[in-house]
Structure 1
Amino acid sequence: MTVNDAHPRLLYWAGVALGPLAWGINLQGVYALAHFSCETTRLTGTIMSAVLAVVALAGTVISARAVRRGAGAEWAEAQGGGPRTFMAWLGVGSGILFALVIANQLAASLMISPCLR
């Protein structure tokens, strides 16, 4: 496997990796900023959640483009493109799922006061 061959294969994994990574950063960030949000009203948690939802959706788009670009590769390769295509579709679903989870956490943080401990 060459460097040029490894780069496109990583694109199939983008949604699988970026969605959970964005959610983990969002979850820890909301907990870390809850104390500071109680003292003053800040929109840092809202902005952070919105940016990380976009990151999760970016992973979805990258995986979807990898599926679309490599659709003919299943027939051209001797080994077939089944496992990579499966991971790309899994990345699409995972990215959408984690973007929805981040949006749900954003809605909860907007409705519930951080001072309620």
Structure 2
Amino acid sequence: MTDTERHTKLLYWTGVALGPLAWGINLQGIYTLAHFSCESTRFSGAIMSAVLAGIALAGTAISARAVRRGAGAEWSDAHGGGPRTFMAWLGVGSGVLFALVIADQLAASLLISPCLR
């Protein structure tokens, strides 16, 4: 395996993993910051959610770039490039899905008071 192949495989996995990773960090971060948000009104949870939604969308962009790159590889690769293209499309879909979930959690954290326990 050459360094170029290793680098492209890392890009495919990065695109697939950034969305769920950003959502997990956002979920735990919102629960952690809820206690402190009740004491003083701060938008640290909203800022964190916005940044993490951007990270999930960055994973989508990485996967979309891999889809564009893999379109030409289907013709030149003896194996057809099917698994890599599938993985790239999976990264695009999961990145968009997790960015929407983070946006939903952001809306809920802005609408519901953290002091209502």
Q: For this structure pair, what is the TM-score category when the shorter chain's length is used for normalisation?
A: over 0.9
Shift >4 Å, 4+ stretches: none
**Distance of 2:73 and 2:12 partners within structure 1:** 13
Q: Which residue of structure 2 lines up, in the alignment, with residue 115 of structure 1?
A: 115
Q: Which residue of structure 2 lines up, in the alignment, with residue 61 of structure 1?
A: 61
- Kept in 2, the 8 Å contact 1:56–1:99? The answer is yes
Q: Which residue of structure 2 lines up, in the alignment, with residue 77 of structure 1?
A: 77
Report the count of equivalent residues: 117
Superposed CA RMSD in Å reads 0.8
The sequence identity of aligned pairs, in percent, is: 81
Letter in 2 for 1:25: I
Deviation at 1:80, TM superposition (A): 1.4
Query: Tell me, which stretches of 5 or more residues in structure 1 are unaligned?
Result: none
**Distance of 2:4 and 2:93 partners within structure 1:** 26
TM-score normalized with structure 2 length: 0.97
**Distance of 2:86 and 2:52 partners within structure 1:** 24
CA offsets per residue over residues 35-60 of structure 1, 9 Å max, x none?
00000000100000000000000000
Query: Tell me, which stretches of 5 or more residues in structure 2 are unaligned?
Result: none
